[in-house]
Amino acid sequence: MSTLPLSNRPDLARSIPKPRIPALAQVDDQVINVANQEDAIRFCMRSLRAGRGFTLFTLNLDHLVTLRSDPSFRAVYARATFVTADGAPVARLARRSYAHVERTTGADLVTPLAGAAAFERLPVYLFGASEATLNKAAEKLKQQYPNLIIAGMEAPPRGFDPMGEAADLAADRIARSGARICFVALGAPKQEFFGDRMAQRHPHIGWLGIGAALDFIAGEKSRAPRLLQRIGLEWFWRLMQEPRRLGLRYLRCAMLLARLSLHHEEAPVAPARIAR
């Protein structure tokens, strides 16, 4: 048997069959196929153990606003391996077609997935945010999981183009590091474009779009108290923290939510499946 790590075996990556994941729910024509945090971790680790990578995106209202106007973002989502319901409203709408969908954000996934990766000695890579955030987040994760292998981390410059040559070079560095999981913190839709493109280039790596999760872990931003999260008001907490940046974004989200709440039909999801 070859002693090369899976990450260095393009023969294996090429032979990886596309997994088929049933859609659980659809919101505004977008598929959600992972119901909760536990399933997300299980599906990710199962793929990685089989030598396969994946993309995992967390669908929120802001993504839905962009998806309506950007066909290339729709194509990226259509290729996603795993999609969770990120925002509380998206999870609520999804529950109209599948009752067990729970809100599962990027911030909910990083720490438990890092724990599972540490347990199975699968190296992870942190990509995005700022150097200071990366250092602090890496330190916190290592404190929590001393066995965690952080194969590398990198904060690209602000003008970073997820579809450009610099992105390809970054992805090649990530692959060379031996990482099997890459946490991508570039904000939407940059992180999804990057993850999708890089999953095609390095299909043995799991690429997750995680938004501000590393800022939360690093303590650079504070996540809403549990009570606000539970009653679906995390957006309000974030708006209070960054009103100028998020005001217009949340206004667009609120308008879309009003439309979807009125028109979203309680239709069972067709037995269609999405695949990578």
DSSP SS3 for 46: helix
Burial-class residue 44 by CB neighbours within 10 Å (0-12, 13-18, 19+).
Answer: buried
> What mask, x for binding ligand UDP by CB under 6 A, covers residues 145 to 184?
-------------x--------------------------
Q: Tell whether the torsion through CA atoms of 236, 66, 256 and 103 is positive or negative.
A: negative
Query: CB-wise, 119 or 236, nearer to ligand UDP?
Result: 236
Q: Which stretch binds ligand UDP (CB under 6 A): 122-130, 141-149, 194-202, 261-269?
A: 122-130
Beta pairing partners, 152: 125
**What span, in angstroms and rounded, lies between the C-alpha atoms of 32 and 37?**
13
> What mask, x for binding ligand UDP by CB under 6 A, covers residues 56 to 95?
----------------------------------------
Burial-class residue 80 by CB neighbours within 10 Å (0-12, 13-18, 19+).
Answer: buried
**What span, in angstroms and rounded, lies between the C-alpha atoms of 69 and 71?**
7
Contact flag: residue 211 with ligand UDP (CB under 6 A): yes
Residue whose Cβ sits closest to ligand UDP: 211
Contact flag: residue 129 with ligand UDP (CB under 6 A): yes
Q: Tell whether the torsion through CA atoms of 64, 195, 207 and 159 is positive or negative.
A: negative
Query: CB-wise, 20 or 245, nearer to ligand UDP?
Result: 245
Minimum distance from CB of 243 to ligand UDP (Å)? 14
Minimum distance from CB of 211 to ligand UDP (Å)? 3
Residues that bind ligand UDP (CB under 6 A): 128-130, 133, 158, 185-188, 190, 211-212, 214-215
